[in-house]
A and B are shown apart, each in its own frame.
Chain A
Amino acid sequence: MTNTIIHIVLALAMPPLLLGVIGKTKATFAGRVGAPFLQPYYDIIRLLQKGSVFSTTTTWVFRAGPLVTLATTAVAALLIPCGAHQAPLSFQGDMILYAYLFALGRFFTMAAALDTGSSFEGMGSAREATYSCLAEPTLFFALITLSRLSGSYSLSPMLINISFGVWLNSGAALLMLVGGMFIVLLAENCRIPFDDPTTHLELTMIHEVMVLDHSGPALGIIHYAAALKLYVLGAFFVHLALPYASGNWLLDWGLFIVSMLELAVVIGIVESVMARLRLIRIPQLLVAATILAAFSTLLVIR
């Protein structure tokens, strides 16, 4: 019970902090002081208090977009285990639901973007549609590998199963999986080198350009949902890359928070040292990620 409460509280409160840590890391690399760690919280609260502007072109689909995205990501957050702790909800086959929940959110985000009738947002959603379609098989290859390694069909046991012992036995497979999943993590969350959340050139953006017309509370919800998505996919990733477990439940929560922050720092470093890819290169990198994950699958099921 306590674990469930901590899980939900963390999922509600922690996501914007990750963005703050990424921002601070990038600022440090650039030699600036940077915004405070809590800046994303301030931004979201400020947006929630503002008025809204709705385009006259839009229908209710435009308003539903952010809400459905937030709800699907929240349900996905209930399925993902945090560190060594079970997820509050776990059943056979929940990994398929986990993968498909994001599709529902994506459907509505893209529809909301196209509802404005702006060609910029059309570009964004066309890119999102294609790239996420290429990222989908990678996630499933990862699920196959994990399912084979753990012998279970549920996210919690299959992710908690990964430990340094498993790394010793099937390190090659896991290494490739980590590579593939890191690429997907960056692509799905629209980080550099796929997309630059801070850019102001609409022609080259993916996620940010889809939400150009959202304002006020709706934009706040979108920012929060994006942070939550980073948290949910990040929690999946830290299980693979940083499988800390101590056995003490309180310490495990601490270790989970530390590993998530480490992930945020790593993302910040990647964003500081890399440039954005040209749009033509993105599909190639995503296919490379799929092939990496497929290799890891072949290694474990041979």
Chain B
Amino acid sequence: MFSVLQGVCDPAVVALVAALVIGCAGIPGLFLRSPGPGQMFATCTTILASLAGLPAALILLFSPVTTTFILDWGLPFGPCELAIDPLSAFFLLPIFIVAAAGSLFALGYWPAKEHRATERGLTFFYGILAASMAILVTARNGAFFLMVWEIMALSAYFLLVTEHEREDVRRAGTVYLIATHTGSAALYVLFSLLAAQSGSFLLPAAGSLSALPPLAMMIAMATFIGFGAKAGIMPLHIWLPSAHANAPSHVSAMMSGVMLKMGLYGIFRTLTFFHDPPLIWGMVLTVAGISSALLGIAFAVAQRDMKRLLACSSIENIGIITTGLGVAMLGISSHNAPLAYLGMAGSLLHILNHSFFKPLLFLGSGAIIHAAGTREMNLMGGLAKGMPRSALLFLIGSVAICGIPPLNGFVSEFLLYFGFFSQIQASSLVYLVLLAPLLALVGGLAVVAFTKLYSSVFLGTPRSPGAAHPHEAGFAMLCPMGLFTLLCLLVGLLPQQALRLVAPALQSFMPQVAAVVNPAEYAFVLGRISLMVLTLVLIVVAVTLLWWWRVGRSRVTSAPTWGCGYQRGTARMQYVGTSFSELAVSVFNGIIRQRVKRPVLSGLFPGSSHCADKPSETLLERIIAPLFSLAGVSFAFLRRLQHGQMHVYMIYIFATLFILMLWAH
């Protein structure tokens, strides 16, 4: 009896059961006739399961033993192993948090009563997506990993095309499907190669492979392409902006906050297999990372669709994380423990931070869409008056994502800067320090992008009738946003505690480094940061009190905004988001392209005309789309095989199997 109880309370079992429960949460709703109870049930179940799973994941994160389960599944890929080590447990944290928060948000954002047709599928696949990601990080068998990976990719597709009656949504879905399967193809190569090298489909133990054979280089390439496509590292990011923009907002939060990290998890996990990664791997990751960060944020500056801007900034953040990982790999390859430690700590902490502020902003964008009925920033304005609470939470998220103190984004970027600077006296890796100005430029552009986003949405006066009467988001929508805000503040104000959170994952990723480095030294520095940040907050409070005291005694009058003498100012004369970013876009011309259709004016008194602008995706439109149409033309003859007749398809399958069997004999 006692052992059964102990078995039930084993945190690993709890975490896995919680994942399964989340996965099944949407099933009852599929069979219920009336809308509403199913969604409510799914939300309650997801929240309860996350409340059980989160402490379990925390316990597993800090426990030194890895719990392993073996499923005897009778398939020819060897035993199916599930294991939760600290690295897996670390990735479980955002999954449980974002799944629960997004599920609660859905109650207000996508209520079953208003969306009878789509709500069931949305709730069902949402649970499947969350559960598949939780299982994915525990999978230790290559074949099983690929199966769960496909479930994750497909459930994300069905979530993404929830509003499939819209043409742009279907297009985004197709691009996503093609991109994710291109990535999956590379993963098939990866796991076959791994199986060829280690002799079984079980994932190799940490540090068991050597990177010397040429096969290892192919494994690294397949990893980078397969997982990089999921994570959205440039140039494999093309699916990302439109997919994240067109999904329902809580799904975007899930995809951006968690699903991208699954690609990163894959890279992290594969890198643990090798005990001697060559310098070139770190270099590739670093260069790909910093260029993703720079180009991603440059694209974000040019966007006019609020959710596309957020999606482009995800590319930036993934780039920052990848840079940190690359720097850590350089540290491992050159046996430089402090560098490896700082790169990895910054990278892991940024994963956690990004899964706090990005869902906050995506959920906020959902609240904004409800209030203004559009995603177009140029049509909004003045929403802060109607929805002050959402405005405050969104402001905190915007400051956090720019990496500005006193919030959490600064902490992880600080660790990365510290890593870059730590090599300044060395002779070999001194050029790493040149990443610091680049990261500073990324930070500067992020400030441009997010002041643009925040001010064109919330500040000023409404620029269209649709945005004129916003309403505050309900409790179900504000509560998850508040939770993420709280987490951002906590990590920002107490960074030294956050460092303790990433330490076990770091330990399991590179034990040889963690043994040499003294984390107390960095915790001390972060403690100083925390002190400074608290000083900053105190000074703000003190100045505010002084100001209230001063203004409280003086005369305060209200008047319209000073129009520099012009009396007939209208809301349409305000600076909109596009005009705000136009100067920055023109300076970075070449990286960002903005297609502007200018009006043709003629005569002394030209009539009314209009001007249109559209940020263009150079890579997708100039290179990848022509490449695909070329492939489409050259493989047109294959279309004859595809005619929609079921029985002929079955003959194909039979014939393929028969030929393979003949070949095997």
B-side interface residues, number (CB < 8 Å): 82
Our pick among B385, B452, B458, B551 for the contact of A52 (Cβ within 8 Å) is B551
* Residues in B whose Cβ lies below 8 Å from that of A114: 451, 455-456, 459-460, 575, 580
Our pick among A103, A122, A127, A141 for the contact of B437 (Cβ within 8 Å) is A141
Q: What is the CA–CA distance of A235 and B584 in the complex, to the nearest angstrom?
A: 30
Q: Is the CB of B455 within 8 A of A111?
A: yes
Q: Which of A94-115 contact B (CB under 8 A)?
A: 94, 96-97, 99-101, 103-104, 106-107, 110-111, 114-115
* Residues in B whose Cβ lies below 8 Å from that of A125: 451, 455, 575, 580
Interface contact tally, CB-CB below 8 A:
248
Report the stretch among A36-44, A147-155, A181-189, A237-245 that lies at the interface.
A147-155
Q: What is the CA–CA distance of A283 and B456 in the complex, to the nearest angstrom?
A: 24
B575 (CB) vs chain A CBs: closest residue: A122
* Residues in B whose Cβ lies below 8 Å from that of A4: none
Q: Which of B529-577 contact A (CB under 8 A)?
A: 529, 532, 535-536, 539-540, 543-544, 547, 550-551, 554-564, 569, 571, 573-575
Interface string of A192-228 (1 = CB under 8 A from B): 0000000000100000000011001110010000000
Our pick among A53, A75, A111 for the contact of B454 (Cβ within 8 Å) is A111
Known: A57-B561, A103-B447. A126 touches B582 (CB 8 A): yes
A67 interface residue (CB < 8 Å to B):
yes
Known: A101-B405, A115-B459. A51 touches B555 (CB 8 A): yes
Q: Is the CB of B447 within 8 A of A57?
A: no
Known: A99-B440, A139-B440, A217-B554. A67 touches B448 (CB 8 A): no
Our pick among B388, B543, B561, B581 for the contact of A55 (Cβ within 8 Å) is B561
Q: Is the CB of A144 within 8 A of B447?
A: no
Q: Is the CB of A107 within 8 A of B399?
A: yes
Q: What is the CA–CA distance of A134 and B441 in the complex, to the nearest angstrom?
A: 7
A171 interface residue (CB < 8 Å to B):
no
Minimum distance in angstroms from A248 CB to a CB of chain B: 30
Q: What is the CA–CA distance of A173 and B406 in the complex, to the nearest angstrom?
A: 34
Interface residues of A, dominant DSSP: helix
Q: Is the CB of A56 within 8 A of B558?
A: yes
* Residues in B whose Cβ lies below 8 Å from that of A104: 399, 404-406
Q: Is the CB of B543 within 8 A of A61?
A: no
Q: Is the CB of A140 within 8 A of B437?
A: yes
A105 (CB) vs chain B CBs: closest residue: B404
Among A89, A111, A153, residue most surrounded by chain B Cβ atoms (within 10 Å):
A111
Q: Is the CB of B579 within 8 A of A107?
A: no
Q: What is the CA–CA distance of A213 and B569 in the complex, to the nearest angstrom?
A: 15
Interface string of A54-89 (1 = CB under 8 A from B): 111111010100011011101100110000000001
B456 (CB) vs chain A CBs: closest residue: A114
Minimum distance in angstroms from A8 CB to a CB of chain B: 12
* Residues in B whose Cβ lies below 8 Å from that of A169: none
B443 interface residue (CB < 8 Å to A):
yes
Report the stretch among B134-142, B184-192, B427-435 that lies at the interface.
B427-435
Q: What is the CA–CA distance of A79 and B450 in the complex, to the nearest angstrom?
A: 27
B452 (CB) vs chain A CBs: closest residue: A129
Q: What is the CA–CA distance of A18 and B542 in the complex, to the nearest angstrom?
A: 25
Minimum distance in angstroms from B520 CB to a CB of chain A: 13
Q: What is the CA–CA distance of A290 and B437 in the complex, to the nearest angstrom?
A: 10
Q: Is the CB of B451 within 8 A of A130?
A: no
Minimum distance in angstroms from A113 CB to a CB of chain B: 8
* Residues in B whose Cβ lies below 8 Å from that of A136: 437, 440-441, 443-444
Q: Is the CB of A119 within 8 A of B402?
A: no
A203 (CB) vs chain B CBs: closest residue: B564
Q: What is the CA–CA distance of A202 and B403 in the complex, to the nearest angstrom?
A: 31
Q: Is the CB of A130 within 8 A of B448?
A: yes
Q: What is the CA–CA distance of A86 and B539 in the complex, to the nearest angstrom?
A: 21
Q: Is the CB of A93 within 8 A of B417?
A: yes
Q: Is the CB of B459 within 8 A of A137?
A: no
A129 (CB) vs chain B CBs: closest residue: B448
B445 interface residue (CB < 8 Å to A):
yes
A92 interface residue (CB < 8 Å to B):
yes
A50 interface residue (CB < 8 Å to B):
yes
Our pick among B403, B445, B550 for the contact of A48 (Cβ within 8 Å) is B550
A61 (CB) vs chain B CBs: closest residue: B459
* Residues in A whose Cβ lies below 8 Å from that of B535: 75, 78, 89
Q: Which of B402-441 contact A (CB under 8 A)?
A: 402-406, 410, 414, 417-418, 421-422, 424-425, 430-431, 433-434, 436-438, 440-441
Q: Is the CB of A110 within 8 A of B455?
A: yes
B527 (CB) vs chain A CBs: closest residue: A91
A297 (CB) vs chain B CBs: closest residue: B434
Q: Is the CB of A111 within 8 A of B451?
A: yes
A2 interface residue (CB < 8 Å to B):
no
B461 interface residue (CB < 8 Å to A):
yes
Minimum distance in angstroms from B510 CB to a CB of chain A: 22
Known: A55-B561, A97-B405, A107-B404. A133 touches B547 (CB 8 A): no
Minimum distance in angstroms from A50 CB to a CB of chain B: 7
Q: What is the CA–CA distance of A91 and B526 in the complex, to the nearest angstrom?
A: 10
* Residues in B whose Cβ lies below 8 Å from that of A52: 551, 554-557
A120 interface residue (CB < 8 Å to B):
yes
Q: Is the CB of B404 within 8 A of A100?
A: yes
Q: Which of B445-487 contact A (CB under 8 A)?
A: 445, 447-448, 450-452, 454-456, 458-461
Q: Is the CB of A71 within 8 A of B536?
A: yes
Q: What is the CA–CA distance of A126 and B583 in the complex, to the nearest angstrom?
A: 7
Q: What is the CA–CA distance of A130 and B528 in the complex, to the nearest angstrom?
A: 31
* Residues in A whose Cβ lies below 8 Å from that of B450: 107
A123 interface residue (CB < 8 Å to B):
yes
Our pick among A48, A119, A144 for the contact of B433 (Cβ within 8 Å) is A144
* Residues in B whose Cβ lies below 8 Å from that of A28: none
Among A61, A133, A134, residue most surrounded by chain B Cβ atoms (within 10 Å):
A133
Q: Is the CB of B581 within 8 A of A137?
A: no
Q: Is the CB of A96 within 8 A of B447?
A: no
Q: Is the CB of A57 within 8 A of B536?
A: no
Beyond the given A148-B433, A153-B418, please list 13 additional residue pairs across the A-B interface where CB-CB is below 8 A.
Answer: A49-B554, A52-B557, A53-B556, A54-B558, A57-B560, A59-B385, A61-B458, A67-B544, A79-B532, A117-B571, A125-B455, A151-B424, A212-B562
Chain B positions within 8 Å of A, measured between CB atoms, are 381-382, 384-385, 388, 391, 395, 398-399, 402-406, 410, 414, 417-418, 421-422, 424-425, 430-431, 433-434, 436-438, 440-441, 443-445, 447-448, 450-452, 454-456, 458-461, 525, 528-529, 532, 535-536, 539-540, 543-544, 547, 550-551, 554-564, 569, 571, 573-575, 579-584, 587
Task: Enumerate 9 A-B pairs (CB-CB under 8 Å) in ascending A order.
Answer: A52-B555, A55-B561, A67-B544, A89-B532, A93-B414, A97-B529, A107-B451, A117-B459, A148-B425
8 smallest A-B Cβ distances: which pairs?
Answer: A122-B575, A51-B555, A133-B444, A114-B455, A117-B460, A137-B437, A91-B528, A140-B437
